[in-house]
């Protein structure tokens, strides 16, 4: 799973809006180029997984995230149990546009896009452990 060379730079730039475009390009290029080309082409590019909150929830909670030591914060304070300020709501139109942009980048970037169950629009906020995307008792 390509957290270091894909998910972390994407979160810093597009989710948290804390790094500029030049730093984003430098991070993705440097980290991708640390692998042989054959490896880069098969890396699983993911944003969210069973270990993280869903992309839509990251975006709702991302802007203004402060990083310790200047490192991009990834998968910290990522649910309502870990943070009293964690917002549980649907993304607004602007946040949904960011989600679409990230998915477009994910589908066209070097490597294999990986989408986790629950990442689709419509699931509630939080991690897979919350009740945001459970079936009703009528199914």
Question: pLDDT tens-digit profile of 6-33?
Answer: 999 999 999 988 889 999 999 999 999 9
Full residue range of the structural domain in which residue 103 is found:
3-113
Q: Quote the pTM value.
A: 0.79
On the question of pLDDT at 97 being above 80, the answer is yes
Is residue 10 included in any domain, yes or no? yes
Q: How many domains does the chain have?
A: 1
Is residue 122 included in any domain, yes or no? no
Is residue 16 included in any domain, yes or no? yes
Is residue 24 included in any domain, yes or no? yes
* Residue 54 pLDDT level (bands cut at 50, 70, 90): confident
C-alpha 73/C-alpha 119 separation (Å) is 20
In sequence order, what DSSP letters do the residues of 1-55 get, joined into one string? Answer: --IIIIIHHHIIIIIS--S-HHHHHHHHHHHHHTS-HHHHTT-EE-S--TTS--H
C-alpha 97/C-alpha 75 separation (Å) is 22
Is residue 58 included in any domain, yes or no? yes
Is residue 131 included in any domain, yes or no? no
Question: What values do phi and psi take at 56, rounded to 5?
Answer: -60, -40
Is residue 108 included in any domain, yes or no? yes
The region of weakest confidence among 25-34, 67-76, 84-93, 122-131 is: 122-131
The region of weakest confidence among 89-93, 104-108, 115-119 is: 115-119
* Residue 94 pLDDT level (bands cut at 50, 70, 90): very high
């Amino acid at each position: 799973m390509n957290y270091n060379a894909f998910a972390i730079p994407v979160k810093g730039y597009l989710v948290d809006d804390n790094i500029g475009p030049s730093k984003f390009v430098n991070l993705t290029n440097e980290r991708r180029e640390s692998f042989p080309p054959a490896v880069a082409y098969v890396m699983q590019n993911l944003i969210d997984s069973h270990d993280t909150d869903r992309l839509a929830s990251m975006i709702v909670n991302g802007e203004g995230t402060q990083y310790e030591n200047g490192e991009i914060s990834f998968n910290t304070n990522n649910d309502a149990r870990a943070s009293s300020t964690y917002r549980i709501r649907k993304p607004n139109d602007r946040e949904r546009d960011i989600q679409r942009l990230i998915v477009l980048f994910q589908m066209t970037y070097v490597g294999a896009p990986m989408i986790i169950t629950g990442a689709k629009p419509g699931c509630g906020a939080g991690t897979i452990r919350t009740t945001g995307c459970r079936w009703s008792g009528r199914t």
